[in-house]
Amino acid sequence: MPDALAESASPEQSPDTMSWDIFCRVIDNYGDLGVCLRLARDLARRGEQARLWCDDLSPLAWMQPEAVPGLSCRPWDESLGAAPGDVVVETFGCELPAPFVAAMAARSVRPAWINLEYLSAESYVERSHGLKSPQFSGPGAGLDKWFFYPGFNDRTGGLIREPGLLDAVTAHHGDAWRAARGWGRRPGERVLSLFAYPQAPLAPLLEALGPGWLLLLCPGAAQSAVPALLRDGQRALALPHLTQDGYDQLLWSCDLNLVRGEDSFVRAQWAGQPMLWQIYFQDDGAHGPKLEAFLDAALAGAEGRWATNWRALSRAWNGLGPWTPACAEALRERPAAVAQARAWRAELAAQVDLTSRLQAFARRASGA
């Protein structure tokens, strides 16, 4: 039977400094790297030493153009001759280089080897979080790999929330921030950010929105597709690539955020504004239950009619249901949407953040 190691850390824990190696492969989007960068940066700002190894570091030119003390970002291949740190994080099943694993096994004090998994609200996350996988063969024979699952409750690994984040959201002046960049709203306009996959159903969304919207389009297919689809009373602006901090501030400054994948999905929840999530499409249909599990959690306790409408809108946006009048009704019910977004954020903020839990988890896994 696998062993479990998933107790929650307490917020006041302050573990001794450890050195961290975080491995990431870029598959078809930059969301994985975005998550890894946020984690590595958060660890460094808490006083840890972090190395981020990635096979494509080019997006860091816009994600994080300035150096972060304590954080080193290095090409994946350079890890082949590196000495492992105290904690090795293998993100999203990226499979560590065999020479690096062999070096881990050769250390007199074995590093904590942690596989950081994808975020989900599905029930298997609670069952799988903290399980150990002993390595009986290969270059890592004798090591233990631990599975760490982000999630939305205290029986999981939590969400990345750096210290001071919610205070920064509260202090942010969204209209002034946007206006300073030439993205100001006109009288009576509401503002949304749009970050979407190419298959997003843009035409029915714009029809459901109605007039009075400024759409701020993040880089991607939407920048070329949306202008020809705009309805009367709608306008759009194409945005440049933003740093991660800049993207956070964009989310804080909008009345509605349309996000995708994992990194922007989590950051939109901390913004406390109504959010539509476009989940990563999977050919086997696994994205459907994943969306429903999140909606079950995030809409628990919400006002009945609005919650029903918002669920219909979320399904339609993901191609999992029809566009009905309920979708447009959900977008018009802003007070209910804002109230639920704030209530959900407060519920998440009452939990220990992912980095704190991961630090404590790594210490337990290494026997420190």
Strand partners, 24: 54
**Tokens 């989900």, located at residue:** 120
Cα–Cα distance measured from residue 351 to residue 51, given in angstroms and rounded to the nearest whole number: 27
| Residue 368: per-residue pLDDT | 55
Buried b (16+ CB within 10 A) or exposed e, 73-98: beebeebeeeebbbbbbbbbebebbe
Active site residues: 32, 262
Run of H or E residues at 40: helix 31-45
Q: Are 297 and 343 in contact (CB under 8 A)?
A: no
| Alpha-helical segments (H) within 116-221 | 124-128, 165-171, 174-179, 202-209
Run of H or E residues at 249: helix 244-252
**Tokens 């991660």, located at residue:** 244
Cα–Cα distance measured from residue 53 to residue 78, given in angstroms and rounded to the nearest whole number: 8
Domain architecture of the chain: domains with CATH:
19-159+352-366 (3.40.50), 165-349 (3.40.50.2000)
Cα–Cα distance measured from residue 215 to residue 232, given in angstroms and rounded to the nearest whole number: 13
Q: What is the dihedral of CA 16, 60, 118, 129, to 10 degrees?
A: 0
Cα–Cα distance measured from residue 339 to residue 272, given in angstroms and rounded to the nearest whole number: 9
Please name which of 49, 98, 61 lies closest in space to residue 76, comparing C-alpha atoms: 98
**What is the chain's pLDDT, residue by residue, as a tens digit (368 residues)?**
334 444 434 333 344 789 999 999 998 778 899 999 999 999 999 999 999 999 999 999 999 999 999 999 999 999 999 999 999 999 999 999 999 999 999 999 999 999 999 999 999 999 999 999 999 999 999 999 999 999 999 999 999 999 999 999 999 999 999 999 999 999 999 999 999 999 999 999 999 999 999 999 999 999 999 999 999 999 999 999 999 999 999 999 999 999 998 999 999 999 999 999 999 888 787 888 999 999 999 999 888 999 999 999 999 999 999 999 999 999 999 999 999 999 999 999 999 999 999 999 999 988 65
